Amino acid sequence: MGSGPPPLTRDTVAGVIARFLEERGVDRVFGLCGGHIMPIWMRLDAEGIQIVDVRDERAAVYMAHAYGQLQDSFAVALVTAGPGVTNAMTGIANAHVAKVPLLVLSGVPPQPQENRGALQDVVHTDLVRSLTRYARTVRDPALVLQELDEAVARALGQGGDPGPVYLDFPTDTLRAIVPAATQREEHFRPKPRCRVLPDPLAIEQAVDLLWSAKRPLVISGRCARHAAPELIALLDALGAPYLDTGESKGLVPDSHPSAVAAMRGSVMGEADLVLTVGRRLDFQLGYGSPAVFGKARFVRLSDTVSELRDNRRGEVEILAPVDLALRAMVRAASGRATALDRDWAQGLRRKHEERADKLRLSMRSAPADAAGRMHPNTLLAHVQDAIGTDAIVVADGGDFLSFARVGMQCGTYLDPGSLGCIGVGTAFGIGAALACPTRTVAVLTGDGAFGFNAMEIDTAVRHQVPVLIVVANNGAWQIEVHDQTQSHGKVVGTRLQLADHAAMARAFGMHAERIERAEDLPAALARAKASLPALLDVIVSGEAMSSDAKTGLAWVPDLQPLAAWDDAERAWRNSAG
């Protein structure tokens, strides 16, 4: 028998990592165990940090993503070497695009075995560097604390965009002692976030533009998540129409007089000034193109440069925490009359209410198909009744996500984001439910998307996570089926089984039911809510087409994401030339 590993004390690198995380307020780490990270794993447990052990490393990163986002802090995923890191890379990429602060930790073979063909010997940092704000292998025990300190600062966006960071450690380094002299309190200690006050001149210039505009429009994104009161105060003062995006859905209630989500296309084309609040002008906003926004000028506000001048420059660009900047705008405009065209704004609101009321009515009365399968909107209407309008909704999939994004009202909304990273649903739901245990969390997912991380129902059961999972089961990758049928005249490789996901969930000890009739949904939802975690596998029609399917998103036009925008872009470019 071998001598075995040495004892893992609090002064080993693994022990210092665990102590650092505890000092920084980390109460949970999401991960999947392996030999190269075992020292960290065991010291986390020794320090009282809960380990949420998962079934796939992608899910560990997804859960940390949702958990940290809802707690407004960085979160931690711990994955083992080699395939553990490569499995995690999709989650890291999603957090990179979403600018969510994550610390991803891993291990590498002991230094005497480096580059000799050791088990799981891969240079991880080369793989993840383009997806992270910081990526290092830490070999010297004396450097562990300053590397952790630097990584967390980078993750939180101190000096750049927030996002995922990555550190790994040779296993022999993890077992080594950190010199007492280098265990400096300055590196353990949590640091206050740097909040730079907005430039008063830029605030005055922005207010002049906004309050003199006849048709101003406010669009919010990622940075507005924790500035809802300030955003609402600005809307109250200015009276401008308001659009959320997937990054900020739920911040401003639909009852607010500025909310005009149902008039998205019209208001984007009619506005003469657009204020973006922590939002990139990416594909979801037509890249800010004049083909979509007409002659509108822009005011850009964000706490990160990458959301300040992408695609369209602002007449004014304010780099500052958005809550401070919005508060300063309201103060600067105090007592000032706005030039807002109130007939225009009120007309948009009336039409929004008419469309929203019509949508709610049509969702409840949506007809079943010829085979008797319910419309996806029928399912969503019943879910809305069951969970109310203040729940956390996680939407996942292609066609079904589009139905849910348009049809559901909620207090907080999560989805795959602009990376289009379907499959996050169940893992996001678990992370969200752990972050907000007193709130209802509902995962609304298509059957294709559910399959990516379906095994995480086992994680939900083992950790008793109170999450409701609703699978809209139509036996297909439906948005691609629609695209293939319309564009190519045949369906190739996009059909699935009408699998019994409820039976799978029951096999792991989860309360689960399969529902085929709409009239059975209210009682089934009530039973599920009383038995969380729970899953409902609901058979829905594949014939219904979502707004995304109708607008051409699936076939990927050349210049813009939607067919109508693509046509408009071509016309604008030709006229501009």
Nearest in space to 213 (alpha carbons), one of 167, 273, 298 = 273
The number of CA neighbours under 13 Å toward the Cβ of 75 is 30
- Greatest distance between any 2 Cα atoms in the chain: 84
State the amino acid at position 493 in one-letter form: G
The helix (run of H) or strand (run of E) holding residue 539 is: strand 534-539
CA distance 26 to 124: 24
Q: For residue 220, which of 300, 290, 162 has the smallest C-alpha distance?
A: 300
**Locate tokens 């958990």: which residue?**
67
Helices (runs of H) and strands (runs of E) counted in the chain: 24, 17
Task: Give the separation between CA 519 and CA 497, rounded to whole angstroms.
Answer: 24
DSSP reduced 3-state for 268? helix
Residues in the chain, overall count: 577
Concatenated DSSP letters of 25-93: T--EEEE---GGGHHHHHHHHHTT-EEEE-SSHHHHHHHHHHHHHHHTS-EEEE--STHHHHHHHHHHH
Burial letters 397-412, b for 16+ CB under 10 A, else e:
bbbbbbbbbbbbbbbb
Contact partners, residue 122, CB within 8 Å, separation at least 6: 81, 82, 85, 86, 108
CB–CB of 78/40 below 8 Å?
yes
Rounded CA gap, 40 and 81, in Å?
13
- The residue assigned the tokens 């407004």 is 72
The residue annotated as part of the active site, out of 230, 247, 307, 480, is: 480
Are residues 392 and 250 in contact, defined by beta-carbon separation less than 8 angstroms? no
CB 241 within 8 A of CB 217: yes
270 is catalytic: no
Chain centroid to CA 219: 17
| Active centre residues (catalytic) | 480
